Amino acid sequence: MFENGPNSTASEWANRLDLYANVQLTGTEKFIIGARPLDRNLPSQFSRVSFNDNRGSGQTEFNMDIRTMFFEGDLGSLFPKLDPAGTKPLDFGFSVGRQLLQFQEGIMLNDEIDAIGIVRNNIHLPGIPSLRSSFVWGWNEVGRSNAGRHDAANMFGLFNSADMQDLSWNLDMVYVADKDAVGDSFHVGFSTIQRIGVYSTAFRINSSIADGADNAKAGTGTLFSAETSFTPEKSDDIVYFNAFVAAGNFTQVGREAIVGGPLGALGILFASPSIGNFGSELNSFTDDMAGFATGYQAFWNHHRTSLTFELAGRKDTSGERFDDIAVGFEFRQRLAQRIQLQVDTHYTVQEKRSDGYGLRTEILYQF
């Protein structure tokens, strides 16, 4: 059951099935194909039984659309005769096909795209002991900020990550050329991940620059985010506090229609469950706003049981929209080796709108 004020209450039983086949050709080469036969990658198009008259009694969305299909390998291993002595710089990894691309924890890019990627690992530069660089060209299925999927956009990305003595950093740059009249954009993201005393921290800056005025596909803005967590003494529990500020209309390179916006990685109340009409408890998109998520995750029973309590809110800084605050919890229990029960609930106080609430139960079976 999900009620967020503006839309009618959603009470339903939704189903999702992810099927994958993995053909391991060699130690480094493999072919992966995947389908989701019970949904069509839209919140309203899952096979479901609805308990609301205004949403119909239910529907089936059976299909065999290919959601994942790619081949990956290593040039040096695939063509060993090119360098029998192993002294030439031919150790380039590659992948080609429809694959999930996630960068900057999904803040910059979180999408399944038809793409080809080439990666070079273990690049040694002065002061940088290990650098990894990847070039990616995506030519189809780029879901822009409005989650519209088409072949009108080409994505060109350079993604870099390095491990230093005290921290790790990532520098990612993407240009999207859209064949439509609007939609061209440039994106850059930089992040550092490190420990400061007993605290694990991550600081990120992600910017999008639209070629022209802001539109449904791309906007101009910057999202600043900071993540801090620590483990209390004599426990495996986690205490966390995440904060963010968005200046302007920051938009992602691409996103799946069911995964929500860029704030999904910063708290469970901003994250979409990616099944059915149950959306994120708080709006996960960024347009002149600031907010936070803080919580406590407790573990029991050798990590077979966990409970997360979270308080989160978002403040509109433009004066044109609304402020929201929410509280909720997420309970997970492993019932068997491959079966997990999850229960989520929340209550949201929404400015100038009726309050929102929700309760969701999920049974996950991995086989």
pLDDT tens digits for range 93-108: 999 999 999 999 999 9
Give 124 or 326, the one with higher predicted confidence. 326
Number of residues in the chain = 367
* Band of residue 2 on the pLDDT scale cut at 50, 70, 90: low
Please report the DSSP string for 77-102 in residue order: HH-GGG-TTS-SS--EEEEEEEEEEE
Tell me: pLDDT of 53 over 60.
no
Tell me: pLDDT of 147 over 90.
no
Average pLDDT over residues 120-145: 88
Q: What angle do CA 67, 220, 316 make, to 5 degrees?
A: 95
Res 185: pLDDT: 93
Burial bucket for residue 352 (CB in 10 Å: 0-12, 13-18, 19+): exposed
Domains detected in the chain: 2-365 (2.40.160.100)
C-alpha Rg value of the chain to the nearest Å: 22
Give 73 or 150, the one with higher predicted confidence. 73
Other C-beta atoms within 10 Å of 327: how many?
A: 17
Cα distance between residue 1 and residue 361, in whole Å: 9
- Give per-residue pLDDT as tens, 75-87: 877 777 777 766 6
Tell me: pLDDT of 171 over 80.
yes
Res 307: pLDDT: 98
User: Which of 274, 270, 273, 268 lies closest to 306, judged by CA?
Assistant: 268
Average pLDDT over residues 68-77: 90
Task: Check: CB of residue 132 under 8 Å from CB of residue 275.
Answer: no
Average pLDDT over residues 155-176: 95
User: Which of 160, 162, 114, 100 lies closest to 134, judged by CA?
Assistant: 160
Res 121: pLDDT: 86
Enumerate residues 6+ apart whose C-beta is below 8 A from 268: 293, 295, 308, 310, 328, 330, 344
Cα distance between residue 329 and residue 306, in whole Å: 10
- Give per-residue pLDDT as tens, 275-299: 988 888 999 999 999 999 999 999 9
Res 86: pLDDT: 66
Give 4 or 42, the one with higher predicted confidence. 42
Average pLDDT of every residue of the chain: 90
Res 88: pLDDT: 72
